[in-house]
Amino acid sequence: MARRVTIADIAAAAGVSKGAVSYALNGRPGVSEATRTKILAIAAEMGFVPNRAARSLSVSSAQTVGIALRRPARTIGIEPYFMELISGIEATLSGGSFGLTLQIVGTVQEELEVYRRWWAERRVDGVFLCDLGTSDLRLDFVADLGLPAVAVGGPVEGARFPAVWHDDVEPSRDILEYLYTLGHRRVARIAGIPGLLHTAIRDEACAETAAGLDFESATMVHSDYTGEQGAQITRRLLSSANRPTAIVYDNDVMAVAGLGVAHELGLEIPEQLSLVAWDDSPLCRLTHPALTSLTRDIPAYGAKCAEVLLTLIGAAEASAPPGPEARAFSVQCKPAQLSPRGSTGPALV
């Protein structure tokens, strides 16, 4: 059982005060170069690592950020999105020696409670807000608390903190025009959860684009993102009188499920049906044919979110509580790019 070394040990070994050790360790003035070098050497030799709790208590900073995920236990694993996001966040955090605290919650109320507790305990210095809703309780709640946050998604109207987001309008246009060019005139989109911000944005953009192209039909059905619903809605769409020749899915999981249904019905892909997945992940390349997708770099996205949060925390520490200038930190990322693969082809019907 190893022993933890404290600044008192170093001070004793170096023959200086604890204060001097602290100054030396933190690169602040107050010690001569000679003593600094000596102290640093001793600290390194003794394998000193500061006690987090003591440091946090002194500087009122947890050196930790938090993320709360609201998903049922059994379905959270299937979405590659979150783990990719988290791994991107981590990439930025490790550099700044920040930790990440993760909590899975069931309801918004629970989520709000978690934020309040984290804030009250000073357990985190800031949080990531995922799955933004069209009117999202959490925004004001967290801002009122004075807890720094970044919205993972957007754009957010009158935000009191920064958002990191992708434009979904352009991809909406891209995908519909792509299908139109391939000759598809009956298209459907199995959209995500209606209350979500990006669902609403896609809904509107798709409707607008569709209106500008003379589709025979452009259907839209909301879902809960699960494979079950993806399959069920696909089955319904494909058994309708004038079935679509192309279906766009708001996530990869539903697209894979949709492909399964197409196989089950004996449809040739893409000859009889084209499929597109919004959000790319390795999952899309697992199937045959591989799924045409709208690709974003999620780990890079997570890294950017973390960058913005760290900046905000630094700023919030330096100056006043996060004010309107927080918006200035917002960053819009490159929109998703269409990656055509085997699941889409000319409409032959």
Q: Which residues bind DNA (CB under 7 A)?
A: 4, 6-8, 15-23, 25-26, 28-35, 48, 50-51, 54-55, 57-60
Which is nearest to 293 in space by CA: 260, 341, 334?
341
Residue 34 binding target from its own copies, DNA, none, CB below 5 to 8 Å by type:
DNA
- Kindly state the smallest distance separating residue 320's Cβ from DNA, in Å: 18
Both tokens of 239, joined, read 């058994």
The piece of 24-32, 51-59, 171-179, 202-210 that touches its own copies (CB under 8 A) is 51-59
Stretch that binds its own copies, among 89-97, 164-172, 198-206, 240-248 (CB under 8 A): 89-97
Give, as ranges, the residues between 273 and 302 that touch its own copies (CB under 8 A): 281-283, 285-290, 298-299
Q: Residue 84: which of DNA, its own copies, none does it interact with, CB under 5 to 8 A by kind?
A: its own copies
7 contact, one of DNA, its own copies, none, CB 5-8 Å limit per kind:
DNA
340: helix, strand or coil: coil
**Binders of its own copies among 130-149, rule CB under 8 A?**
144-146
**Per rule CB under 8 A, is residue 120 in the interface with its own copies?**
yes
User: Distance from first CA to last CA of the chain, Å, rounded?
Assistant: 72
Provide, rounded to whole angstroms, the least separation between the CB of residue 58 and DNA.
3
User: How many residues are given for the chain?
Assistant: 349
DSSP state of 344: -
Would you list the DSSP string of 167-180? --HHHHHHHHHHHH
Bridge-partner residues for 189, per DSSP?
220, 248
Among DNA, its own copies, none, partner that 16 touches (CB below 5 to 8 angstroms by kind): DNA
Residues 195-214 that bind its own copies (CB under 8 A): none
Which residue, 37 or 332, is less far from DNA as judged by CB? 37
CB 194 within 8 Å of CB 222: yes
Stretch 19-48 residues interacting with its own copies (CB under 8 A) = 47-48
Which ranges constitute the DSSP H helices of the chain? Answer: 7-14, 18-25, 33-46, 52-59, 80-95, 108-121, 137-145, 169-181, 197-212, 227-238, 252-264, 298-318
CB 23 within 8 A of CB 31: yes
- What would the two tokens of residue 342 be? 């085997």
272 contact, one of DNA, its own copies, none, CB 5-8 Å limit per kind: none
Beta strands in the chain (DSSP E): 64-70, 99-105, 126-129, 149-152, 163-166, 186-191, 217-222, 246-249, 274-278, 292-295, 331-333, 337-339
Which listed range, 7-15, 16-24, 115-123, 217-225, lies at the site for its own copies (CB under 8 A)?
Answer: 115-123
- Within 215-244, the residues that bind its own copies by CB under 8 A are 226-227, 231
Please give the Cα distance from 14 to 9 (Å, whole number).
Answer: 9
Least distance from DNA to the Cβ atom of residue 20, Å = 4
Distance CA 63, CA 158 (A): 28
- Residue 151 binding result from its own copies, DNA, none, given CB thresholds of 5 to 8 Å by partner type: none
Q: Kindly state the smallest distance separating residue 22's Cβ from DNA, in Å.
A: 3
